Amino acid sequence: MALYSETVMDHFRNPRNAGVIEDADGIGEAGNAVCGDIMRIYLKIQDGVIADVKFETFGCGSAIASSSMATELIRGKPLSEALRLSNKAVTEALDGLPPHKLHCSVLAEEAIRAAVKDYYDRQGISYDPGNFPDRGSCGGCHG
């Protein structure tokens, strides 16, 4: 059995939405000190909907694939829906990740939340992280 699904390999080899939005409405970053992966998500918002999304990721193939898939899953969605995106949904959309790479999908979820929070902060909109509870860890990668 292959370590990575064809979907993971496709998103690694042909990442969607890679790049920078220079005039982004929200920017979020997440990183993992243990493995060194860093993700930055850029959002362009129109009428409460994600009109454009880009990412920059420094990390392994799973991190790049997770960033790519996460941006595909939130493009065109309302911010409230983007905030509900879970690392489990990213992993499922990728047709799975090896257990030791699940932290990559967690970073994608965290970077999106950070970008939405940045947008809310810039707009003076109250953000209550309690409305979006932690969905659990990926097996200890965040302590």
Q: Which amino acid is at 137?
A: S
Interatomic CA distance for residues 36 and 52, integer angstroms? 27
Mean of the pLDDT values across residues 32-42? Answer: 90
Residue 135 has pLDDT above 90, yes or no: no
Whole-prediction pTM: 0.87
Residue with structure tokens 């990412």? 55
Mean of the pLDDT values across residues 101-120? Answer: 95
Arithmetic mean of pLDDT over the chain? 89
- Residues marked active site are found at 35, 104
Predicted local distance difference test score (pLDDT) of residue 137: 40
Task: Encode pLDDT of 51-99 as tens digits.
Answer: 999 999 999 999 999 999 999 999 999 999 999 999 999 999 999 999 9
Residue 115 has pLDDT above 50, yes or no: yes
